[in-house]
Amino acid sequence: MKVLVIGNGGREHALAWKLSESKNVDKIFMARGNGGTEDFCENLDLDPKDIHGLLKFAHEEKIDLTVVGPEDPLCLGIVDAFKEKGLKVFGPNKDCARFEKSKEFTKKFLEKYSIPTAKYKSFENYDEAIEGLSEFSYPLVVKADGLCLGKGVIICQNLEEAKDALHKIFKDKIFGDEGSTVVIEEFLTGEEASVLCLVSDNKLFPLERAKDHKQIFDGDKGPNTGGVGTYSPVAASQELEKNLQVIYRQIEDGLDKEKLTYSGILFIGFMIEEDKPKVLEFNVRFGDPETEVLMPRLDCDLFELLNKTIDGKLKEEDIKWKDETCLTVIMCSGGYPASYEKGKEISGLDDVDEDIIVFHNGTKKSDALYTNGGRVLSVTALGKNLEEARKKAYDNVAKINFDGAYFRKDIGTKKNNNI
């Protein structure tokens, strides 16, 4: 069978790596892939947003399964386009991708189905939004409605900052049309956690949990990034588990009532306080770097799992996990998440231990391997427990080098590892 994986990051490298283990998979194409996927896949010169080009390729090459990594092609309707041509594709359709494309759409859904979330109001112009601020206390959160490369959320400590945020979005149009609607939201406190669910015909199958580390500096300090380290599994209290189950059922009920047909992955971001989860956001794709620790722990055939999900035939018992803990440390380019340089030569990959998996987030191969993004490499280890996985990962990070390399030293060291 031939598989096409769309995307360039560590998430897509991890998905392709797991798919390559399947006895059903003979060949994997990547659009575009990176320096790491080149070793076992065929990287294509096709942009993940080039729906027409991808469709033409999949049709001509008779691809048996296409797996969509990032949100952009999903929001552009790649799944609808592929299905129309009779091609099998993993991911939600354009209607359902609105859960990531529009924060207002998600908030309305959450409100309608009484799913716990921060109190909010949405606005389409600056003056009304300024007036609306009086209904909130500080800090509050200003969010551009659309896709803003993870930068559309501004936490405001006072009226001045809130006015400034609204001015930047509505008047300076820093997010262009993606900021034509703004959501103002109550600020939630607690511990952030995410759950990735396979969704098969509107039924949610939560995967084992992975704990992300979003801030760039140790001790969860500094600006947010896409995620610079993860581990899995994560323990949870019975009370929290019970509350999460209620939310999963509410989401399924809402999808049915809205006559949506959701298939693919739903990434639910939560804020949790005293075992009470509130939904912060939905994403309609796998998390990155969550996928880098989930794939090595998955103890079943990913190709079969994704096909069953698409066919609406997935069952709880199809999803199997290894007992081991998996931890990944992301080596970043110096300066990330602000500006950084690319094109630094990477050395030491030949020296890493055999049981270490290095997923590539942002690399490019020519005469040698070079950095090509803010997040560069996910150095990933399985161990019998968190301590062992962490030690193995960091021992191997130490063997890899590039100019300006930066990584957090404290992934998986928090005293309270439960969410």
Residues engaged in binding ligand AMP (CB under 6 A): 118, 141, 153, 185, 187-188, 192, 224, 269, 280-281
Contacting ligand GLY within 176-205 (CB under 6 A) = none
Contacting ligand GLY within 247-306 (CB under 6 A) = 283, 287-288, 290
User: CA-CA distance, 93 to 248, in Å (whole number)?
Assistant: 20
Shortest CB 253 distance to ligand GLY, Å: 25
Closest residue to ligand GLY using C-beta atoms: 227
Query: What does 228 bind: ligand GLY, ligand AMP, none (CB cut-off 5 to 8 Å by kind)?
Result: none
> Residue 212, interface with ligand GLY (CB under 6 A)?
yes
Query: What does 283 bind: ligand GLY, ligand AMP, none (CB cut-off 5 to 8 Å by kind)?
Result: ligand GLY
CB atoms near residue 61 (< 10 Å): 13
Shortest CB 164 distance to ligand GLY, Å: 26
Query: What does 71 bind: ligand GLY, ligand AMP, none (CB cut-off 5 to 8 Å by kind)?
Result: none
**Cβ proximity to ligand GLY, 227 vs 374, nearer residue:** 227
Query: What does 212 bind: ligand GLY, ligand AMP, none (CB cut-off 5 to 8 Å by kind)?
Result: ligand GLY
Shortest CB 294 distance to ligand GLY, Å: 12
Query: What does 361 bind: ligand GLY, ligand AMP, none (CB cut-off 5 to 8 Å by kind)?
Result: none
User: CA-CA distance, 365 to 372, in Å (whole number)?
Assistant: 9
Shortest CB 34 distance to ligand GLY, Å: 17
Q: What character string, x for contact with ligand GLY (CB under 6 A) and - otherwise, covers 295-314? A: --------------------
Shortest CB 418 distance to ligand GLY, Å: 19
CA dihedral 329→334→338→344, nearest 10 degrees, is -100
Shortest CB 206 distance to ligand GLY, Å: 16
**Cβ proximity to ligand GLY, 330 vs 346, nearer residue:** 330
Query: How does strand 89-90 pair with strand 65-68?
Result: parallel
**Cβ proximity to ligand GLY, 12 vs 288, nearer residue:** 288
**Cβ proximity to ligand GLY, 194 vs 325, nearer residue:** 194
> Residue 227, interface with ligand GLY (CB under 6 A)?
yes
User: CA-CA distance, 404 to 384, in Å (whole number)?
Assistant: 32
Query: What does 166 bind: ligand AMP, ligand GLY, none (CB cut-off 5 to 8 Å by kind)?
Result: none
**Contact positions toward ligand GLY, by CB under 6 A?**
212, 226-227, 283, 287-288, 290
